[in-house]
């Protein structure tokens, strides 16, 4: 591999470095560690900086110049009045409620329908199983953006435009959810179900009480994926929801930035409050599954 064909350009260097290493191996180690932390801090500033600036802006009162030069990172008189302003003008509670309904519904349907389909594909033998599996695999290559227009048309003919079910249904179960669940069921030992069958349990009982509890890990991954996706999605709710009263948070916040374009502090308060907080909370609580989920999603997707 390329390890052996790597350019010999650096081969002249080791002799020059070697004496230093012999003399100061410990010192060099510390320099390396310091360098690593310096880089980590640099990336930290780049990553967190914009969030902090937004937070600072959101806490600045009416009397404060948002465009002060130099910029004030710390507000002179920190105030929550912008947060109150957002809550008053924007139908905030309804946005939160709509987003919650959409995200929770999507989580439930993806977990349940994904598990049911995944179970059938992993544990049952039937005609056309291979074909069904192949068609679902093929589904993975069709991006939503490509079929957007036609999804809108079918949603419209079903009378679901401007409704929350219209937001949820197109992604109520995704091929990815089915795959993650299927891989979970595939890993289960046969004996688990055989034990249940001896007890005379029906297929549904077997699924519900024996198989499903054994794939909690995958359920968590599918659940978190579906929740975050639904919570963060913008393009589809933007298309389906016409009436501001039905907006979800992402569409609402974009609407908000148009309405308040004169007052950046209020927009900042809105973004901080509406969209960042809940997700960071969720993320901190469920960190482990998150990382696993991204890994699985990458491999399967």
Partner 1 sequence: MIGRRWFTPWLFLLPALVILGVFLWGPAVNTAVLAFTNTRSIGGGSFTGLENFARLVADGDFRNALWHSLLYVVGVVPLLVALPLLLAVLVDSKLPFVAFFRVVFFTPVVASMVVVALIWDWVLRSDGLFNYVLQRLSIINEPVGWLTDPQIALFSVMAVTVWKGLGYYMVIYLAGLQNVPRELYDASKVDGAGPVRRFVSITVPLLRPTMVLVGALSAVSALKVFTEVFVLTGGGPARASQTLVPYIYERGITPGLELGYASAMSLVLFLLVLGFSLAGQRLGRAEVAA
Residues 49-78 interacting with partner 1 (rule: CB under 8 A): 49-51, 53-54, 57, 67, 69-71
Name the residue with tokens 């069904």.
Answer: 132
Q: Which of 97, 175, 184 is nearest to 136 (CA)?
A: 175
Helices (H), the chain: 2-5, 13-58, 81-89, 92-123, 129-139, 144-157, 164-168, 175-186, 190-198, 203-205, 216-232, 235-240, 249-259, 264-271, 277-285, 287-300
By CB under 8 A, tell whether 85 contacts partner 1.
no
Which segment (75-83, 88-96, 125-133, 213-221) binds partner 1 by CB under 8 A? 125-133
CB closer to partner 1 out of 88 and 204: 204
Tell me which residues in 219-278 interact with partner 1 (CB under 8 A). Answer: 228, 231-232, 234-235, 239, 249-251, 253-254, 257, 264, 267-268, 271, 274-276
The answer to whether 155 and 170 have CB atoms below 8 angstroms apart is yes
Among 16, 126, 189, 262, binds partner 1 (CB under 8 A): 126
Compute the least distance from the CB of residue 139 to partner 1, in Å: 6
In our burial notation (b when 16+ CB lie closer than 10 A, e otherwise), range 254-270 reads eebeebbeeebbbbbbb
Whole-angstrom distance, CA of residue 161 vs CA of residue 81: 36
Residue 135 in contact with partner 1, rule: CB under 8 A: yes
Least Å from the CB of residue 84 to partner 1:
19
30 belongs to the binding site for partner 1 (CB under 8 A): no
Residue 24 touches partner 1, criterion: CB under 8 A: no
Q: By CB under 8 A, is residue 209 in contact with partner 1? A: no
């Amino acid at each position: 591999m390329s390890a052996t064909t790597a350019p010999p350009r650096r081969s002249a260097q080791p002799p020059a470095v070697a004496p230093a290493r012999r003399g100061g191996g410990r010192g060099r180690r510390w320099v390396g560690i310091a360098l690593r932390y310096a880089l980590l801090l640099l990336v930290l500033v780049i990553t967190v900086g914009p969030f902090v600036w937004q937070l600072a802006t959101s806490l600045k009162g009416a009397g404060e110049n948002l465009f002060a030069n130099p910029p004030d990172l710390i507000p002179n008189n920190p105030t929550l009045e912008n947060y109150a302003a957002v809550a008053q003008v924007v139908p905030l509670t309804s946005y939160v409620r709509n987003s919650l309904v959409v995200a929770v519904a999507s989580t439930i349907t993806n977990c349940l329908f994904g598990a049911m389909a995944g179970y059938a594909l992993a544990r049952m033998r039937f005609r056309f199983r291979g074909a069904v599996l192949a068609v679902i695999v093929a589904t993975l290559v069709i991006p939503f953006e490509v079929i957007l227009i036609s999804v809108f048309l079918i949603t419209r003919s079903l009378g679901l435009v401007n409704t929350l079910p219209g937001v949820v249904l197109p992604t109520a179960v995704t091929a990815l959810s089915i795959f993650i669940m299927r891989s979970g069921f595939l890993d289960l030992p046969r004996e688990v179900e055989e034990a249940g069958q001896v007890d005379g349990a029906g297929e549904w009982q077997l699924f519900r009480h024996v198989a499903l509890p054994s794939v909690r890990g995958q359920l968590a991954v599918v659940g978190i994926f579906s929740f975050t996706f639904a919570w963060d999605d913008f393009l589809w709710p933007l298309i389906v929801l016409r009436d501001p009263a039905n907006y979800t948070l992402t569409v609402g916040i974009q609407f908000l930035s148009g309405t308040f374009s004169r007052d950046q502090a209020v927009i900042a308060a809105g973004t901080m409050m509406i969209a960042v907080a809940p997700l960071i909370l969720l993320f901190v609580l469920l960190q482990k599954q998150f990382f696993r989920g991204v890994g699985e999603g990458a491999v399967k997707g």
